[in-house]
Amino acid sequence: MTGAGVLTEDLSKFFGPLRAVDGLTIAVAPGEIYGLLGPNGAGKTTALRMLAGLVAPTRGRALVAGLDVASDPDHAKAALGFLSASTGLYGRLDARELLAYFAGLYGLEDETTARRIAHLAGALGIEPLLGRRCETLSSGEKQRVSLARAMIHDPAVLVLDEPTSGLDVLGSRFLRDFVRTERARGKAVIFSTHYLAEAELMCDRIGLIHRGRLLREGSPAALRTETGAATLEEVFLTLVGMAEGERGAAPAPAA
């Protein structure tokens, strides 16, 4: 894998006896969409927050575009676009002002900022929103503006945590098309979602995480073949059932 992707090695986060993320090792190449899937509490969001430098790992390391998130956090964050369902916007700024503000934080010049805002507004269908205060936007509109904010500096890596939360059918379609376009431009994308059908449509490879551990990874087709399941939902339920059975049959690991 080249330096433009994502690499985690034994990435772990413990909260006392709780192993929120336990030994996560994944590699995401440029031009690839990698789906990180699992139920609530599986450790997905904690893993993504460690990638973004928002949570320090207990052990292991994470590289973003070849940059160590722990030892070179500023440059690693500059190479990353991060979007979560809870991303906030400054309500009293209009969408254009907000995007220009974040472009300034990344050191973009005025001409580049104007070009990026125009490109993202067209790609995400937010031209009519640029002159509106963020506090007046609907939840779906805010999510699309938040994605534009995450992409304003054209980062090498894009991390999306539940990105279609709050989006209607049209908004979800804009987002999926945009992410596919960014993949074609060579972006490494991590896509976390509860919507398994959406992940099956979007992702080149999928990592299934449960109780902080990676159960299995592979293409949707390969995972279906391995388990004999017809859908990704059935794949996940099969693998979780197997993991729970093994967990019940074996002694608990030492903390």
Residue 211 placed within a domain: yes
C-alpha span between 228 and 222 (Å, rounded) = 10
Instruction: List the domain range (segments joined by +) for residue 211.
Output: 6-249
Give the residue from 110, 55, 52 showing the smallest Cα distance to 79.
Answer: 52
C-alpha span between 195 and 200 (Å, rounded) = 9
Give the residue from 198, 193, 217 showing the smallest Cα distance to 207.
Answer: 217
Per-residue pLDDT of the chain (255 residues; tens, 9 = 90+): 345 799 999 999 999 999 999 999 999 999 999 999 988 888 999 999 999 999 999 999 999 999 999 999 999 999 999 998 777 899 999 999 999 999 999 999 999 999 999 999 998 889 999 999 999 999 889 989 999 999 999 999 999 998 887 778 887 888 889 999 999 999 999 999 878 888 888 999 999 999 999 999 999 999 999 999 988 888 988 888 887 776 655 444 332
**DSSP labels for 22-44?**
EEEEEEE-TTEEEEEE--TTSSH
> What strand order describes the sheet that includes 205-210?
80-84, 157-161, 188-192, 32-37, 205-210, 213-218
- The tokens describing 250, both together, are 């074996």
Residue 31 placed within a domain: yes
Residue 255 placed within a domain: no
| Segment 180-199, tens digit of pLDDT | 999 999 999 999 987 888 88
Determine the pLDDT at residue 2: 41
| Segment 29-50, tens digit of pLDDT | 999 999 999 888 889 999 999 9
**Which residues, including other chains, have CB under 8 Å from residue 231's CB and lie 6 or more apart?**
196, 197, 200, 224
Residue 1 placed within a domain: no
Residue 82 placed within a domain: yes
- Altogether, the residues listed in the chain come to a count of 255
Q: Any idea what the CATH number is for the domain that residue 34 is in?
A: 3.40.50.300
Residue 126 placed within a domain: yes
Residue 134 placed within a domain: yes
The domain tally of the chain equals 1
Residue 254 placed within a domain: no
